[in-house]
Amino acid sequence: MALQNVLDEAVSAKDAPFLVGMTANAQGVTWSGAAGEAAPGRPAATDTVFRIFSMTKAVGSTAAMILIDRGELDFDTPVEEVLPEFADMRVLDGWDGDTPVLRAPKSKATARHLATHTSGLEYEFWNAGPGQYMEKTGAVSILSGLKASMFYPMMTDPGTRWGYGPSIDWLGLMVEKISGKRIDAFLKENLFEPLGMSDTDVEVRDHMAPRLAGVKARGEDGQFGDFELAPPSDPEVYGMGHALYSTPEDYMKFLRMFLNRGALNGHRVLSEQGVARMLENHMGPLTFEKMVTVAPPVTADFDPFPGTTKTHSFGFMRNEADIPGMRRAGSQSWAGVLNSHYWFDPTSDLAAVIMTQSLPFVEPRWMKTYEAFERSAYAT
């Protein structure tokens, strides 16, 4: 089948170290396949456990949407109303030698700003400012798992620009504060157990460990080598930007819930109206902006479907135009830094994942494979 050929050819050409792919509609999984070894001697499979990194973000945003659906949170609730410590956040306005020049933001960041990456908070991989700030001040990375790592400054005023960063970590803290439950407990009760996602967790549990994939990074010689990268275990904060492990099978249940307008297998986690509101464009006049790397070993530039308008819903990047032979307007998508990717297309009743564990993120060889997989998914 064409989809399997895409996976086989990509692994054979060393465009990816291994691959798992899956497609589905509202009724169920329509195709699944794998190629290569997820770990030495262990073939990749649909129940392989992945570090899904930023695929976590949509899950964290859905947790917040569950509270919005219940009337316990609003899209435009200021973050500092729920988390008073957020009022201490400042905007980096320049440098006086090695001393950062900080000022108060001109607008208050809201839950909507966090969910759409318009809060002003950005990662050091796509904006030099945070890395410079960390280098000169000794501030720690978000992957430290320390709450202190969440307080490095905004790069822009909230609501003025798309800028990809740790916003969803703060959104997760809002969920914790409002619900009175740690985020992993909230997710288990309100999302994972209802959807049957027994292999999705903030830690690699005993039943998951034998199926955990290895990570590879492409070296200067163009070959893949072993690489250690994982979310911090037992952190102060389980960051909803990066903290989850999952499998293609489990994540597809999450995506199919959206195709089913908030329910799966008789278990409803969001109202139909809640799903419709969540998947709307929440950026107003702003749009997704090309992400230009400042760390090429970690990530290439990211500009999906260049020349077409992309916005952001409350949980996902959103395409605003049909892509010929591929996803339709209104499709939702995102990915994890180790090249675990997904999209779902409500108009076409199609959801898909194509996942590996490799760096750099979205290198051209990977994007060629992703496009071939997507075109095959729509051609079948």
Q: What's the Cα-to-Cα distance from 75 to each of 37, 109, 254, 284, rounded to whole Å?
A: 43, 11, 22, 13
Sequence letter at residue 35: A
Q: What's the Cα-to-Cα distance from 97 to each of 100, 133, 136, 228, rounded to whole Å?
A: 8, 12, 10, 35
Q: Are 113 and 165 contacting, i.e. CB atoms less than 8 angstroms apart? A: no
**CA end-to-end span of the chain:** 9
Q: Are 300 and 323 contacting, i.e. CB atoms less than 8 angstroms apart? A: no
Q: Are 272 and 261 contacting, i.e. CB atoms less than 8 angstroms apart? A: yes
Distance of alpha carbon 53 from alpha carbon 76, whole angstroms: 26
* Residues designated as active site: 54, 57, 164
Sequence letter at residue 200: T
Residues in CB range of 185: below 8 A, 6 or more apart: none
Joined together, the tokens standing for residue 9 give: 């050819």
Q: What's the Cα-to-Cα distance from 344 to each of 47, 69, 318, 331, 339, rounded to whole Å?
A: 20, 21, 10, 6, 17
Question: Using alpha carbons only, what angle is made at residue 192 by residues 33 and 371, rounded to the nearest 5 degrees?
Answer: 35
